[in-house]
Amino acid sequence: MTAPTTDTGLLRPHAEQAYAAELAALAAADDRPRPPSWQLSPAAVVTYLLGGVLPDGTAISPKYIGPRRLLEVAVSTLATDRALLLLGVPGTAKTWVSEHLAAAVSGDSTLLVQGTSGTAEEAIRYGWNYARLLAEGPSEAALVPSPVMTAMRAGKIARIEELTRIPSDVQDALITVLSEKTLPVPELGSEVQAAKGFTVIATANDRDRGVNDLSSALRRRFNTVVLPLPAGEDEEVAIVTRRVAELGAALELPPVPAAAEEIRRVVRVFRELRAGVTADGRTKLKSPSGTLSTAEAISVLTNGIALSAHFGDGVLRASDIAGAVLGSVIKDPVADAVVWTEYLEAVVRERPEWADFYRACREVSG
């Protein structure tokens, strides 16, 4: 997750914009078979996600740090007639992986349905331009295609974020699309048949199980890949370090050395509270109600860099990150405050090398 290879001048460019040079280099060097409508071969897609060096010496930056086999399973699923469901707790890069997969396979990551409790069936099927509908009646010109319909026509990937946040009856609009690869339009007496290359990547949050569970019929249409939290502290530190550097560059923050010590400290705090035990395994801990994900650690450190750059001395210190750590841990002001106080006194206070962090956290905790 290094800095984008192309400076677009946008705050948050799409993957295919930010990494256009890498995608072009991969396409030029890719001599393996490509499934219909794919921009790259499956092997090249995995290289794009995990990084590597091409025969001509071009370096491909890693977009995801994790088990290679998981991405191979995900990419091979996209080459079949089954849709892909990326499942995991918040902060496991589901959306990030989904976007980059769509960019590498289809060259377009923008065919997106954002799932919420208010998502209507029209977001998955199609809607109508009601002015034309009233004036002319049902017609192709009055039809407003959804991102899914557009992807079907073009043979591209449609992305559905937070699938389990969508009401169950709306979710089931996908069943015919995924099983028959058609989208009926009864008002016109017609249908849209999917072009080769079409598929769906959906993401779902582990914590949302029970909100709007997928029906067994819909679940069968997906191959599920579970994205785990980083297995080890070093791996998580590497992810956070890369992403913080990328965000700092994109936001054009004044240069602040992202101290390795502070990054590792935030990662360790989050990992210990998530696991309910200290890194050495000697002390059991209570876990707070929040997820304390890798994404939240990235946010804490990015905020600390901005604070240090604009209101500090330009060096990332414990006082720059303490407030954001507190905000990430304490979601429930009663129960989580107790968890945090116990952790500060039983763990942080007993680490002499963390004395500055302890003082900073006590100051912001009051």
Residue 209 has pLDDT above 70, yes or no: no
Mean pLDDT along residues 143-158: 97
Amino acid at site 125: R
Say how far apart CA 206 and CA 243 lie, in whole Å. Answer: 23
Across the chain, mean pLDDT equals: 91
Element (H, E) at 53: strand 52-53
Among 206, 230, 228, 214, smallest CA distance to 83 is for: 214
Task: Select from 46, 112, 31 the least CA-distant residue to 77.
Answer: 46
pLDDT at 7 over 80: no
Q: What is the pLDDT of residue 313?
A: 86
At the top level of CATH, the class of 67-226 is alpha beta
CA distance 301 to 254: 14
Closest CA relative to residue 245, chosen from 260, 232, 235? 260
Q: Confidence band (pLDDT; 50, 70, 90) for 1?
A: very low
Type and span of the H or E element at 179 = helix 174-180
Residue-wise pLDDT tens digits, 26-63: 999 999 999 999 999 999 999 999 999 999 999 999 99
Rounded Cα gap, residues 193 and 100, in angstroms: 25
Percent of the chain clearing pLDDT 70 (strictly above): 95
Q: Say if residue 309's pLDDT is above 80.
A: yes
Q: CA angle, 303 as apex, 300 and 308 as ends, to 5°? A: 120
Residue appearing with tokens 């007993």: 350
Confidence of residue 211 (pLDDT cuts 50, 70, 90): low
The whole-angstrom separation of Cα 156 and Cα 35 is 12
What residue ranges do the domains of the chain occupy? 67-226, 233-365
